[in-house]
Amino acid sequence: MRLENKVALITGGGSGIGAACARLFTAEGARVAVADLSRQGADLVARQIEDAGGRATTLSGDVSRRADAERLVSETVKSLGGLDILVNSAGITARNVRQGADFEEIWDTVINVNLKGTFLMCWYAVPEMKKRGGGSIVNLSSIIGLVGHPLSDGFNPYPASKGGVLQLTRDLGINQAKFGIRTNCLCPGFTRTALTQALTENPEMLARLESLHPIGRLGEPEEIARAALFLASDEASYVTGAFLAVDGGYTAR
C-alpha cells in the first residue's frame, strides 16, 4: 500500500475531488480525516470508507476562518496521531457565492476560500509535519490558474485565486523542502463535481466545455484523485514546488 501508516487531512472531503481522494487514500492504507463545511457530506464519505474497511474521522469547518483551520489540523492530530499529508481540495467558484452578492463580496468570498483557506491550512499543517520529519501537501489549483477563463468577463475572482494557489505552492515547495515537506499542486481541467454541475446540466455548455479538452470529455474526480495519490506518496519523493496538469490536454492546445 502506497500510504500505509500515513495520516491524511483532506479539506473539501465531503464531495467531488476531495471525496475521491479520501476514498482512494484509505484504500492505499492511510488514516484519513475527512473535513468539509458540510458535516453531512463528510459523514457520508466516512461511512463509505468504513464500509470498505478503511479508517476515517470526520471534521467540519470553514477553511477561510483562522480558528477553524487551526482546529481542523489539531483535531486530526488528536484523533489520528499526527499529520503526514494535507490535501487542500476545499474550493468555491463565483457561481456558488450566495445569490444577491455584489461584485466585491463575490471576489472576497472566492479569494478567502480558495487562496486564504489554502494558506491557513498549510500554515497550521507545516509545524505538525515538521514533528514527523516531513510530509506532503497537495494543493488544488486549476487549469484556470494557468490560463484565462473561457467563461469570464475578466473580473472573475476564480482565476486569480487559483493562480495564487499555484504561486503559494511554488514558494512553500522550495522553502519547506529542507524540512522534508514537499508541496505540489494539481491543475485539473473541467471535472464533473458539484462546482461544475450548473454548467454540465446545460447540454450546449457541456458540449462547449468538452470541445475545449482534446480528449473530448470532462474529467472525473477519481482521475484527479489518482494524480493526488502520486504527489502525496513517496513515489513523488523528488517532486516539490511543481504543478501537474490533469486536464485532458486543455492547456497543451
What are the structural domains of the chain? Answer: 7-252 (3.40.50.720)
Q: What whole-number distance in Å separates Cα of residue 250 and Cα of residue 253? A: 6
Report which of 178, 158, 27, 169 is spatially closest to residue 87, judged by C-alpha positions: 169
Q: What whole-number distance in Å separates Cα of residue 242 and Cα of residue 178? A: 16
Neighbours of 69 (CB within 10 A): 26
The string of DSSP codes covering 121-169 is HHHHHHHHHHHTT-EEEEEE--GGGTS--TT--S--HHHHHHHHHHHHH
Split the chain (253 residues) into runs of 10 and give each run's mean pLDDT: 97 98 98 96 96 96 98 98 98 91 96 98 98 98 94 92 98 98 97 88 93 96 98 98 98 92
Residue type, 131: K
The pTM (predicted TM-score) of the whole model is 0.96
Q: Which residues are catalytic?
A: 158
Question: Pairing between strand 31-36 and 243-246?
Answer: unpaired
Looking up cell 462546482 gives 195
Length of the chain in residues, anyone? 253
pLDDT of residue 38: 92
